[in-house]
Amino acid sequence: MAIEKLILMNIVGENLYANEVIKEILLLENVQVEDAYNEIENFRFSMDVTDRHLDEILGVTEAKSGVKYDYAEDFVNKLNLLKEIFSDDYTINKELLKKNVDTQDIVDTVNKIYNEIHSKYDILNSYYKDLNEIEKSIKAYNFISPMNIEMKTINALNNFNYTLGSFSKDNITRLKNNYSEITAIVVHVGTLDENEVYVVIWPHDLETETNRILKSLNFNKIEGIKEEFKESPEEILKILNSKKQVLKEKIDLLESEVNEIKDKFKDDSNYAYSVLHLLKKIQEIKKKMAFSKEHFYFSGWIPIGLKEEIKSKLSKYIDDDNIIFNDPRTNAHLKPPTKLNNNWLFRPFELFIKMYGIPSYTEVDPTPFLSMSYLFLFGFMFGDVGQGFIFFLLGVLLSHFKGMKMGGIISRLGISSMFFGVLYGSIFGFETVIPALWLNPFHNINTMLVVAIAIGVIMLTIGYIYGMINKYKSKDYYNIILGQNGLAGIILFFCLILVALALFTGERIISMSVLGAIIIFMIAIIFMKEPLINKLTHRKNHKLDSNFFVEGFFEIFEILLSIFSNTLSFIRIGAFALNHVGLFIAFETLAHIINSGVGSTIVYIIGNIFIICLEGLIVGIQGLRLEYYELFSKYYVGDGKEFETTKL
């Protein structure tokens, strides 16, 4: 549970089997590939040194990075061919890939499919092109359709030329304002989108001038007028439309033929696609490997539980001794990535952890504590059977239909809210329907606030303990005892709480003078921590100058202040629990004022929606704030890297 144990796996094998080995690794989908060449360069690539592996060991010295492996262009080209024709979304079929794959066979299949379909496909494409041209012409001739003259007469004009195109509104004004100087005749024939369409006619002799003027007016020529059409525009349109009809029929026919062929090859092509995709991935992984003349070198992180499975899967290709495992527990210089592994209850909360930062490999996974405490805090502040149920439903819907990770969190929060709803006896805000198993927050304001602080003290204590465990794991032994979040800090924390307890309730568990002495002693320890640790570890002594004392003073001041504020900060959970009821009371009063069955019901419904949206959001944020700020600062660093597996 929590952070999964990982192990670094180095594989040395014969180049002959490289593809098969990578394929097996890829199919596991549970390996984070490391750059093997980099590992070798940095002397981290360890292997068994025995006589039997002399070749492999010697190979290391001449190994080169696989980066130079070309980008599998062949496969990519073939993949694109398939995509161009089928354009469907293929699914990668892993089961089929597990069997032996004959690359040549696949390439042949693709070629076969392509040959069979490609000539038809080309014709189809040329039809599409023709259709496009015809549609353009129809559009163009439509603009001049009222003109009752055969186009051949116009085309045969010796001294004049014409064109069709559009101007923007702004340029039309410019054109109009300078009609007298323009070297062409312009006739308005229609509108296209936001632009005005004109026929422009000019004498041959003024071709250059006209063109330049048109260009300066951002004239956009409309394509589609062609010499080959000689009839009057109206007749041309008739001809074009019938051509279009014929062409469309041809396209339909051909499309259905192509589709038939596609159906015939559906499975084959899907298989080919899967294989080509696999080959492409293999090429990508090769870039991260190193190669000598005869051997390849692979390096990657795997979950420790996968060790035997991988060994047996690769045994066909590689000697057992050539798969070397390197455990980070025995090799401190290895920096493994972090793979979070939590049960279904806690898993959605990994989202909150990732938002803050992944724990490093040696840290304790904070997810369980964060999940439990967050659930508790939220429920405590937002305890209501009815509203909680709505949250639950909302969460289930979100995660089910939208696939949102947040949905998992919301539904769990809903359950927690329902649980506290039972304790508070609150359903949709009404406190009279079901009996409270514990208490009604609004009738026990002081109890709520005191309990809130008590919860804070308990949670902070757990935070301190977590922090000490983390320090132990990262071998920061001195800080466990002397640090502000270590033993010294925790004793200081408790003594201050006892003092506060004594001041407010008169309850003296330990006499004040003893407490005072302990507090001063602890402050002194924390204050002198650096020089003390240096002394104990025989490092160079810390300079005890004025800087040290000023810094130290402010540090202590900050520590005391934060103990005080972190603890009081938890009052908010009591306050929000009250607030939750308070908001409802406000709506209840409104409902009473309206005092009509329908009106009051509407107010109750709006009130509940309002409370769920606003209060739910606020409470969620406040809870997260307590987690991130008050608690994480005690024990969590979160500077790890996530375990990223290579997927097919």
- Whole-angstrom distance, CA of residue 442 vs CA of residue 263: 69
Residue 4 CA, chain-centre distance (Å), reads: 22
Shortest reach from residue 173's CB to other proteins, in Å: 8
Tell me the number of residues near other proteins by CB under 8 A: 21
Q: Is 186 in the site for other proteins (CB under 8 A)?
A: no
**Interacting residue with other proteins among 62, 105, 170, 327 (CB under 8 A):** 170
Contact criterion met (CB below 8 Å) for 373 and 646: no
**Which one of 123-131, 212-220, 393-401, 640-648 is the stretch in contact with other proteins (CB under 8 A)?**
212-220
Q: Is 217 in the site for other proteins (CB under 8 A)?
A: yes
**Interacting residue with other proteins among 94, 112, 152, 221 (CB under 8 A):** 221
- Residue 488: name the closest of 515, 463, 518, 511 by CA: 518
Structure tokens at 78: 């073939």
**Interacting residue with other proteins among 64, 94, 129, 174 (CB under 8 A):** 174
Cβ nearer to other proteins, comparing 210 with 411: 210
β-strand partners of 3: 340
Structure tokens at 88: 């469907």
**Which one of 218-226, 553-561, 623-631, 640-648 is the stretch in contact with other proteins (CB under 8 A)?**
218-226
**Which one of 19-27, 115-123, 206-214, 398-406 is the stretch in contact with other proteins (CB under 8 A)?**
206-214
Shortest reach from residue 77's CB to other proteins, in Å: 18
Cβ nearer to other proteins, comparing 213 with 533: 213
Q: Is 12 in the site for other proteins (CB under 8 A)?
A: no
Shortest reach from residue 67's CB to other proteins, in Å: 22
Contact criterion met (CB below 8 Å) for 63 and 292: yes
Cβ nearer to other proteins, comparing 217 with 240: 217
- Beta strand pairing call for 340-341 and 64-65: unpaired
Shortest reach from residue 165's CB to other proteins, in Å: 8
Cβ nearer to other proteins, comparing 184 with 559: 184
Shortest reach from residue 196's CB to other proteins, in Å: 13
Cβ nearer to other proteins, comparing 46 with 220: 220
Contact criterion met (CB below 8 Å) for 251 and 127: yes
SS3 assignment, position 484: coil
Contact criterion met (CB below 8 Å) for 394 and 369: no
- Residue 322: name the closest of 56, 593, 37 by CA: 56
Q: Is 527 left (phi over 0), alpha (psi -120 to 50) or beta?
A: alpha
Structure tokens at 645: 């597996």
Q: Is 77 in the site for other proteins (CB under 8 A)?
A: no
Cβ nearer to other proteins, comparing 182 with 398: 182
Cβ nearer to other proteins, comparing 212 with 329: 212
The answer for residues whose C-beta is within 8 angstroms of residue 486's C-beta and 6 or more apart is 467, 468, 471, 479, 480
Q: Is 213 in the site for other proteins (CB under 8 A)?
A: yes
Q: b/e map of 399-419 (b: 16 or more CB within 10 Å)?
A: beeeebbebbbbbbbbebbbb
Shortest reach from residue 184's CB to other proteins, in Å: 11
Q: Is 177 in the site for other proteins (CB under 8 A)?
A: yes
Shortest reach from residue 642's CB to other proteins, in Å: 26
Cβ nearer to other proteins, comparing 94 with 129: 129
Query: Which amino acid, 132?
Result: N
- Whole-angstrom distance, CA of residue 297 vs CA of residue 645: 18
Contact criterion met (CB below 8 Å) for 572 and 622: yes
Q: Is 220 in the site for other proteins (CB under 8 A)?
A: yes
Instruction: Return phi, psi of residue 439, to 5°.
Output: -160, 165
**Interacting residue with other proteins among 64, 212, 248, 264 (CB under 8 A):** 212
Q: Is 219 in the site for other proteins (CB under 8 A)?
A: yes
- Whole-angstrom distance, CA of residue 611 vs CA of residue 2: 35
Q: Is 641 in the site for other proteins (CB under 8 A)?
A: no
Shortest reach from residue 192's CB to other proteins, in Å: 10
**Interacting residue with other proteins among 181, 263, 507, 545 (CB under 8 A):** 181
SS3 assignment, position 2: strand
Structure tokens at 554: 């402010």
CA angle 645, 646, 648 (to 5 degrees): 130
Shortest reach from residue 202's CB to other proteins, in Å: 13
Cβ nearer to other proteins, comparing 219 with 587: 219
Cβ nearer to other proteins, comparing 93 with 220: 220
**Interacting residue with other proteins among 38, 163, 168, 440 (CB under 8 A):** 168
Q: Any idea how long the chain is?
A: 648
**Which one of 165-173, 421-429, 552-560, 603-611 is the stretch in contact with other proteins (CB under 8 A)?**
165-173
Q: Is 215 in the site for other proteins (CB under 8 A)?
A: yes
**Which one of 41-49, 219-227, 436-444, 598-606 is the stretch in contact with other proteins (CB under 8 A)?**
219-227
Cβ nearer to other proteins, comparing 216 with 633: 216
Cβ nearer to other proteins, comparing 218 with 312: 218
**Interacting residue with other proteins among 119, 132, 178, 633 (CB under 8 A):** 178
- Whole-angstrom distance, CA of residue 186 vs CA of residue 166: 11
The answer for residues whose C-beta is within 8 angstroms of residue 408's C-beta and 6 or more apart is 347, 348, 395, 399
- Whole-angstrom distance, CA of residue 575 vs CA of residue 452: 8
The answer for residues whose C-beta is within 8 angstroms of residue 379's C-beta and 6 or more apart is 388, 413, 416, 417, 419, 420
- Residue 642: name the closest of 282, 343, 324, 351 by CA: 351
Cβ nearer to other proteins, comparing 93 with 211: 211
Q: Is 42 in the site for other proteins (CB under 8 A)?
A: no
- Residue 468: name the closest of 496, 454, 488 by CA: 488
Contact criterion met (CB below 8 Å) for 637 and 403: no
**Which one of 43-51, 217-225, 307-315, 635-643 is the stretch in contact with other proteins (CB under 8 A)?**
217-225
Q: Is 209 in the site for other proteins (CB under 8 A)?
A: yes
Q: Is 360 in the site for other proteins (CB under 8 A)?
A: no
Shortest reach from residue 212's CB to other proteins, in Å: 5
Q: Is 413 in the site for other proteins (CB under 8 A)?
A: no
Contacts with other proteins by CB under 8 A lie at 168, 170-171, 173-174, 177-178, 181-183, 195, 209, 212-213, 215-221
